[in-house]
Amino acid sequence: MKYPFEEIELKWQKYWEENQVYKTDFKNDLRKLFSLVMFIYPSGAKLHCGHWYNYGPADSWSRFRKLRGDNVFEPFGFDAFGLPAENFAIKSGVHPYDSTMKNIEDIKGQLKRIGTMYDWSGELMTCSPEYYKWNQWLFLKLYEKGLAYRKNAPVNWCESCNTVLANEQVLADGTCERCSSIVIQKNLTQWFFKITEYAERLLDGLDRINWPEETKTKQRNWIGKSTGAEIIFKVENSDSEIKVFTTRPDTLFGVTYIVMAPEHPLVDKLTTAECSQKVKEYVQNSAYLTEIERTSQTKEKSGVEIGAFAINPATGEKVPVWIADYALLSYGTGCVMAVPGHDERDFEFAQKYKMEVKKVILQPGTGESDVLTEAYTGEGTMINSGKFNGIRSTQGILEVIKFLEESGFGKGKTNYKLRDWLISRQRYWGTPIPIIHCEKCGEQPVPIEQLPVELPYDIQFKPTGESPLRSHPEFMNVKCPKCGGNAKRDPDTMDTFVDSSWYYFRYCSPKYAAGMFDEEITDKWVPVDMYIGGREHSTMHLLYSRFIHKFMFDLGMAKTDEPFKRLVHQGTITNMGAKMSKSKGNIVIPEPFIDKYGSDVFRLYLMFMGPYEMGGDWSDKGITGTERFVQRIYDLAEANAGLLKNYPDTERFDISHINPEEKGLYTKLHKTIEKIEYDIENLKFNTAIAAMMELTSEMVKHISGCSNEFKAHIFERMLILIAPLAPHLAEECGEILGRKGTIYENPVWYEADKNALIDETVNYAIQISGKLRGTILMPIESTQEEVYEAAKSDPRISKFLEEKEIIKQIFVKNKILNLVVKP
RNA sequence: GCGAAAGUGGUGAAAUUGGCAUACACGCUAGACUUAGGAUCUAGUGGAGCAAUCCAUGGGGGUUCGAGUCCCCCCUUUCGCACCA
């Protein structure tokens, strides 16, 4: 009979749900396993194959662990705040709340068809006040500790859309994603979280978690630690000082000019009257470039002199001060000491503007008088550096720092590329920032007992560039919590990455009202043991949550200081070479395939396509392969209906007491058990399925020659092996075969019988001088002599040995015999 | 430019440690059963050659009895980061 997937998938999904098979008992934390996939943004585009590729295999892994005896918690929820819903509202007039609720309903329906073990009692959505209340609480805690603060900062601004854009909405060429006009930088007062305070701990923690090396490397690069010195340059005829950061204090004697970022606050003050016109033009010009444009290496460097001179603290020499947009205000001190002799960028700039190049590090193997034709950035001996002459540059770094510290002109300093996290958005559909601005008392936190600050439903969606909340008087006008006078709420909302930086805690007690989460549970159930999601979050979500988690640890609310013990990235499924996205119109939806083949076949196919962490371009070409495979298993079960009712399970068989067909199957089965254990644990689903296919083929061929007791043994184990990969199929076949109880209510895993893993004979590869000339079947553990004799007497091999002298034999037991002959 | 990953049949891909390259599938070819086949089953299927054999893991060197796997150089693709002083 054709495998009736429609009926049975519904039947088992209903059964699992009604019997609460996947409900987690938090009281039992023995062998607890928190298995998590990144929650979904409920967009109108709904679930596509990429989502399935994330959730299906992740669920198979969790199911495998459940069968092995782990107490698995696998929750799901919705990352429900965010820009797309609001943009949709601007276009269509549908309120973000309404569209989001509808999308969540739709997606939930789609999700249920996968047949996952989600414990829906953990379900949450970030847009509900009972969730975002705790975002606000978190904000206030950070505020209290000085880790949330407001400052003026440059942001992306589209003059045509009249709004702030997230970095992700600015295309690589510096234009607006929506209207293609140029995006400029504009200074606005914004809220930040001080993630930089945690930079060192964020680096340290990476050494203690089981994450892909590529992701750890990305985070390390993103944090971008570099050590060097901060050096003070006095300014001639001024009481101002210019501070620079450098990783090469050993090149201090080679400084020939200073570069400041055009937006540097000292620029106005230090610019002389003669230069002011040129400087003003330059500053204005660079404001129209995006950071992306400014920092693109293809652009030629440019700059102007501001007329001031700085004094080199080591030499007393005066050097000109320039502004140039290759200096970034956001890194280091925003000022650079330029050493054209030993820095490529400074060299390029000095060439263009005809500035002096001083050689202070001697490249090994070159002479002092050799002229530099390019910057030498390596190590060497210090020259032209006063009392430091002759010192190796690596040592010189330390010596110069010592000199700076003693003379008060600077100090050793560590710098990070990581910037503070800008969390305010001039948007409606997010968590309101719980701050009240009072003209008299200034910035006032909303008292905790007044949380949540609820997002009003009635609101005007117009892309005005201001938060829509600002034009909602009932929301905006409040009394100051301190003086009771009239005051205004902060009109901004939080970045949705705040929501996702602690949601895994909340899953354990989504309805908890006495705090962010029930620590009695999270103390035992957090951290997440397995986290599966895409690479695109390597430096965003995955860094933010590590930061927030460490903060929770500092508050005493988390027992560990890392949120995700083990991390795996599934590969990206592309379509026609491009990542699936609604705007590209290349989304592949799963429904047609589930309708045609069923959920298990589709899940199997996704896992069978290739290595899980690799992904690839979508094609449904091979799906019939997994369809046939499922049908063969179903046929086998039907042909042996009731078997397990009539024949009890035998734990193991003695190989010497079963017939050859049974023996072959027995060995195959137990080898398959071992392979599948290794493969699924390591998310190598494709080879696990291949192994199951092999086992199934062997069963189809040989099962009729087996005793009923033996059949019962193999079917019982085969069901358990396929259960994580095709859960509906396994339950149904179990029922057909007359198995006692359902699989997932009574999880069990069978260990491989080690005795069955050893073959009695092995196929030796016989090589002559490294070339394969034949194979011979030998009893296991044969000696070199025995194999050699057998090889010599085999005509296929002996003909290569005629009149040849064997000068060496290489023998690898149970594998290979290589006879090296004289050429 | 820097960093990471990858390159194996017509296609998706296997190959825990240096030890029989191409498992498992898709597709294709032939046959069987069929009114029929986009069903099922059986056999075959890296390339060249009648054959013995030879050649094949992006290209070129090397180490080794033996290299898809280790080392060096180069090419291509994908993804990150992109003047970070």
DSSP structure string for A180-197: -PBEEEEEEEEEEE-GGG
In angstroms, the CA of A116 and the C1' of B17 are apart by 37
Of the ranges A150-154, A160-164, A409-413, which one carries the lowest mean pLDDT score?
Answer: A160-164
What residues contact residue A783 under an 8 Å CB cut-off, 6+ apart? none
State the pLDDT at residue A466: 77
In angstroms, the CA of A527 and the C1' of B60 are apart by 50
pLDDT above 70: residue A449 = yes
Q: Is the CB of A625 under 7 A from strand B?
A: yes
Name the closest nucleotide to A626, judged by C1' and CA: B25
Spatial separation of the C-alpha atoms in residues A554 and A549, rounded to whole Å: 9
The residues with which A741 forms a beta bridge, in sequence order, are: none
In angstroms, the CA of A765 and the C1' of B56 are apart by 20
Q: Which helix (H) or strand (E) holds A766?
A: strand A761-768
pLDDT, average across residues A705-723: 96
C-alpha to C-alpha distances, A437 to A143, A192, A423, A431, A519, nearest whole angstrom = 14, 17, 18, 17, 33
Would you place residue A429 in the very low, low, confident or very high pLDDT band (cuts 50, 70, 90)? very high
Spatial separation of the C-alpha atoms in residues A594 and A604, rounded to whole Å: 12
DSSP state of A362: E
Instruction: Give the side-chain half-sphere CA count within 13 A for A418.
Output: 30
State the pLDDT at residue A143: 97
Strand B proximity: list residues 153-172 of A with CB under 7 Å. none
List the alpha helices (DSSP H) in A448-527.
473-476, 496-499, 503-506, 519-525
In this structure, the strands spanning A163-165 and A421-422 are: unpaired
State the pLDDT at residue A772: 86
Mean pLDDT across chain A: 91
Tokens in use for A534?
Answer: 């895409």
Would you place residue A305 in the very low, low, confident or very high pLDDT band (cuts 50, 70, 90)? very high
Strand B proximity: list residues 234-263 of A with CB under 7 Å. 244-248, 261
Q: Which residue is nearest to nucleotide B64 (CA to C1')?
A: A770
CB contact at 8 A, A22 and A16: yes
pLDDT above 90: residue A49 = yes
C-alpha to C-alpha distances, A593 to A51, A603, A729, nearest whole angstrom = 14, 10, 17
Q: Is the CB of A227 under 7 A from strand B?
A: no
Q: Is the CB of A113 under 7 A from strand B?
A: no
Spatial separation of the C-alpha atoms in residues A380 and A361, rounded to whole Å: 6
**What percentage of residues in chain A have a pLDDT greater than 90?**
74
CB contact at 8 A, A353 and A303: yes
In angstroms, the CA of A698 and the C1' of B23 are apart by 15
Strand B proximity: list residues 762-801 of A with CB under 7 Å. 762-763, 765, 767, 769-772, 775, 796, 799
Instruction: Give the side-chain half-sphere CA count within 13 A for A476.
Output: 11
3-state SS track over A15-33: HHHHCCCCCCCCCCCCCEE
pLDDT above 50: residue A232 = yes
CB contact at 8 A, A54 and A40: no
CB contact at 8 A, A361 and A250: yes
Q: Is A53 helix (H, G, I), strand (E, B) or coil?
A: helix
Which burial class, exposed, middle or buried, applies to A533 when counting CB atoms under 10 A from its CB (0-12, 13-18, 19+)?
Answer: buried
State the pLDDT at residue A297: 47
- ipTM of model: 0.95
In angstroms, the CA of A389 and the C1' of B31 are apart by 88
Name the closest nucleotide to A336, judged by C1' and CA: B85
pLDDT digits (tens, 9 = 90+) for A365-393: 888 988 888 889 888 999 999 999 999 99
State the pLDDT at residue A173: 62
In angstroms, the CA of A624 and the C1' of B14 are apart by 20
Q: Is the CB of A634 under 7 A from strand B?
A: no
Tokens in use for A10?
Answer: 């519904």
Name the closest nucleotide to A691, judged by C1' and CA: B24
The structure tokens 């606050």 sit at A265
Give strand B nucleotides closer than 7 A to any protein Cβ.
1, 3-5, 11-16, 19-21, 23-27, 39-42, 53-54, 65-67, 79-85
State the pLDDT at residue A179: 67
* Count of beta carbons in the 10 Å neighbourhood of residue A707: 14
State the pLDDT at residue A174: 65
State the pLDDT at residue A802: 78
State the pLDDT at residue A204: 93
* Count of beta carbons in the 10 Å neighbourhood of residue A614: 12
Of the ranges A384-388, A573-577, A622-626, which one carries the lowest mean pLDDT score?
Answer: A573-577
Q: Which residue has the higher pLDDT, A128 or A161?
A: A128
pLDDT, average across residues A470-490: 95
Tokens in use for A492?
Answer: 């901004």
Cα-based angle A123, A458, A47 (whole degrees, multiple of 5): 35
Spatial separation of the C-alpha atoms in residues A340 and A346, rounded to whole Å: 4
CB contact at 8 A, A808 and A822: no
Q: Is the dihedral of CA A268, A269, A270, A272 positive or negative?
A: positive
For the whole model, what pTM was predicted? 0.93
* Count of beta carbons in the 10 Å neighbourhood of residue A337: 27
In angstroms, the CA of A262 and the C1' of B21 are apart by 61
pLDDT digits (tens, 9 = 90+) for A502-534: 999 999 999 999 999 999 999 999 999 999 999
Q: Is the CB of A44 under 7 A from strand B?
A: no
Would you place residue A186 in the very low, low, confident or very high pLDDT band (cuts 50, 70, 90)? confident
* Count of beta carbons in the 10 Å neighbourhood of residue A120: 16
CA A524, chain centre distance (Å): 24
pLDDT above 90: residue A188 = no
Of the ranges A421-425, A691-695, A756-760, which one carries the lowest mean pLDDT score?
Answer: A756-760
In angstroms, the CA of A661 and the C1' of B30 are apart by 30
